[in-house]
Amino acid sequence: MTEVNNEENKIIKPDYCDPELFCTALPKEVPRMNNIIQKFYDWAQANSLWLLAFGTGCGSIEMRPLYTARYDISRYGIAPRPTPRQSNLFIISGYVSVKTLKRIIRSYEQMQNPKFVIGLGSCTINGGMYWDSYNTINRLDHYIPVDVYVAGCMPRPEALIAGFDELKKRIKEGRGEGANEYAKNFAWYKANQKKIIKDWDMPDYNW
């Protein structure tokens, strides 16, 4: 969609925020029911985790043995999916640069409710070894809501499996409310995202 103007050697970007092409409605909070049906939903959601196969950093190397024969995550009923529309678990694997954060936000907002996020590695907690980098974010929870952190540099696949167990426990207790939190504090998350991403050329909420 980008046209290169050879005279000035510069990319002309089209208008991504055209309301005819994108739905501009903001996310809505879905209230919990607090009855036995909600408990059944929580149990069902905890046992139906489909993770988005999107490696943001070095941690994506640890996710390959996790999918395949060595650690075989599908024995726990968890499997990778190629697109955000079909998945509800997003693993931010390792450091997040500003360029990647833009893609992470787009992917996260395209995922369907209820959606969960696991931050893998120390870089998502406080920046890890890239804490003073000019291009790597320090705290992931300022940009998208995070359910479970797995600390380490890099955590082994066993640690990530323990993180899945923790996430299942949280969802069964009714605490996997990341999507509602995102809708509730939408203005705060958006302000933080726009502070970092200087050339914002996306719609405010893209789904």
Partner 1 sequence: MKELIERLRSKFNAKNIKEQRKNFVFITVEKKDLEGCVLYLKEFEGYGHLTLLTALDWIEKDQFELVYHLHNYSNKTDVSVKTFIDRKNPTMVSINNLWAGARVYEREIKELFGIDFPGCPRVNDPFALEGWHEIPPMRKDFDTKKYSEETYFPRPGRYTKDNVAQMEEQLYPVEAEVKNGIAETVRKK
The footprint of partner 1 (CB under 8 A) covers 4, 9-11, 97-99, 102, 125-127, 131-139, 142, 192, 195-199
Cβ closer to partner 1: 4 or 187? Answer: 4
Q: What angle do CA 107, 134, 16 make, to 5 degrees?
A: 35
Shortest spacing between CB 67 and partner 1, in angstroms: 28
Cβ closer to partner 1: 142 or 156? Answer: 142
DSSP string covering the chain: --EEETTTTEEEPP-TT-TTTS--PPP-------SHHHHHHHHHHHT-EEEE----STTHHHHHHHHSTTT-GGGGTEEEESSGGG--EEEEES--BHHHHHHHHHHHHHSPSS-EEEEESTHHHH-GGGTT-SSB-S-GGGTS--SEEE-SSSPPHHHHHHHHHHHHHHHHTT---HHHHHHHTHHHHHHHHHHH-SS--S-SS--
Cβ closer to partner 1: 165 or 201? Answer: 201
Shortest spacing between CB 66 and partner 1, in angstroms: 27
Cβ closer to partner 1: 52 or 101? Answer: 101
Cβ closer to partner 1: 148 or 171? Answer: 148
Shortest spacing between CB 119 and partner 1, in angstroms: 12
Shortest spacing between CB 28 and partner 1, in angstroms: 27
Shortest spacing between CB 69 and partner 1, in angstroms: 35
